[in-house]
Amino acid sequence: MGGVHRGQGRPVSDDTSTMSDDHDADDLGNEVPAPTATAVLEHVVRSIVDDPEAVRVEGQEGRNRVRLEVKVGPGDLGRVIGRRGRTAQSIRTLVRAAAARDGVEVDVDFAD
């Protein structure tokens, strides 16, 4: 029996897709303050770098915001930042949009 959650405007189905969403959040650990934003950030950065296994994302909650710090392997920081910082800015825009699903605002910082 399908329906719509109040305030969300999304159809509800009887499948187990909501269970997998909860499971994904558990995989990231309970300490991650913005699980959707963190997962999107990790996926995008791992797709760009030469050494995806070296990518680490750490989240810290601050005043009204979550700070996500991305650490990459040696030599990969330039790939993530891009020319004139355009790639980094695009990643930040994408992650901020994903953070809306988490109900938080995020700042993304990149480190070597």
Tell me the per-residue pLDDT of 44-103, one tens digit each, with 9 for 90 and over. 999 999 999 999 999 999 888 999 999 999 999 999 999 999 999 999 999 999 999 989
Tell me the per-residue pLDDT of 79-88, one tens digit each, with 9 for 90 and over. 999 999 999 9
Higher-confidence residue of 4 and 102: namely 102
The share of the chain scoring above pLDDT 70, in percent, equals 72
How is the chain split into domains, by residue range?
31-111
**Which class would CATH give 31-111?**
alpha beta
Angle at 32 between CA 71 and CA 97, to 5 degrees: 80
Helix ranges restricted to H, the chain: 17-28, 35-48, 77-81, 86-102
How many helices (H) and strands (E) the chain has is answered by 4, 5
Tell me the per-residue pLDDT of 8-27, one tens digit each, with 9 for 90 and over. 444 444 444 444 444 444 44
